[in-house]
Amino acid sequence: MANIVTIGIVQDTASDDLASNVTRAVARVRDAASSGAQIICLQELFNAPYFCKTVRPERFDIAEPVDGPIVHTFQALAKELAVVIVVPFYEREAPGLYRNSATVIDADGAILGTYRKMHIPHDPLFEEKYYFAPGDVTGDQRTDRHPGYNGFRVWRTKYADIGVLICWDQWYPEGARITSLLGAQILFYPTAIGWHPAEKPTFGDAQVDAWRTAQRAHAIANGVFVASPNRVGFEPEPGTEGLEFFGQSFICDPFGRYLAQAGTEPTILTATCDLGLIEETRRNWPFLRDRRIDAYGPITQRWLGGA
């Protein structure tokens, strides 16, 4: 496996025309590949507006199975371009069972597996618990031999060993740590995060800074690269003030240094990552060596008391 890999992430809007969103994403992947990207990640639920702003049962109709048209489209594209593609979409796993998922397609078009979002939020305009079941923790989490495993996973792609976590997962150090311990060299965080318009003047800058800081901390604490593609644009919703997705996508190295940053407009970011920097960083900051794994049992409890 090469020590140098170029990764790309797509920051884009989404319209009510689902087919048009897919067509545009295909074009964005082609653009990223033409810029040298070998592993390319789209934003969370890329093919539709963020439909979780309100509870509307008809929106379950957006979901597709892993072997549906969306994944098939990107399998053919990955094979044509010889790139790895991370495809985040609304998955229909079974009747009445839906997931917020990301399928990893290798550079030969083969499906390596599907990650299902583990942490599901429930906030105003983020009604995700209605739409998504969380990923299950079953199967063999150390290998890909169990095709039904839905927990934290790592995929050995043609170009690098990668892990995928989705949006709300990015606030949890446990997910980043476990995925890194499984051997991930790059963590991808496809995202749909934005401002409530009424909050933006007071909290907007701080929210963006917190979002970036949390993920850069995962890179530093684990000695891995992190890439986070977010969506952009204001999306209205009847009966609400809507959401303004703030973009600010980025790629950073194991020191937390920005390799590429975006603003609030649609764009493609690429960055060349020297995977040898992981070894160098961990030798100088041996956080994994110094972990007190004998002392961490209480982390499995939801609360330990206190005032």
Residues 71-104: b if buried by 16+ CB within 10 A, e if exposed: bebbbebbbebebbbbbbbbbbbeeeebbbbbbb
- Return the closest-CA partner of residue 169 out of 154, 157, 179, 160: 179
Catalytic (active site) residue 174: no
- Give 128's Cβ-side CA count (13 Å radius): 23
Catalytic (active site) residue 93: no
Catalytic residue among 52, 53, 91, 117: 117
**Locus of tokens 């539709």:** 48
Task: Give me the sheet containing 250-252, strands edge to edge.
Answer: 154-156, 161-164, 186-188, 225-228, 250-252, 258-261
Beta-carbon contacts of residue 182 (< 8 Å; ≥ 6 apart): 141, 142, 152, 153, 154, 163
Instruction: Name residue 107's beta-bridge partners.
Output: none
Catalytic residue among 41, 44, 91, 235: 44
Catalytic residue among 52, 91, 128, 167: 167
Task: Give me the sheet containing 4-11, strands edge to edge.
Answer: 111-116, 97-105, 84-94, 39-41, 4-11, 267-274
Angle at 189 between CA 263 and CA 76, to 5 degrees: 100
Catalytic (active site) residue 158: no
* Spatial separation of the C-alpha atoms in residues 19 and 24, rounded to whole Å: 9
* Positions marked catalytic: 44, 117, 167
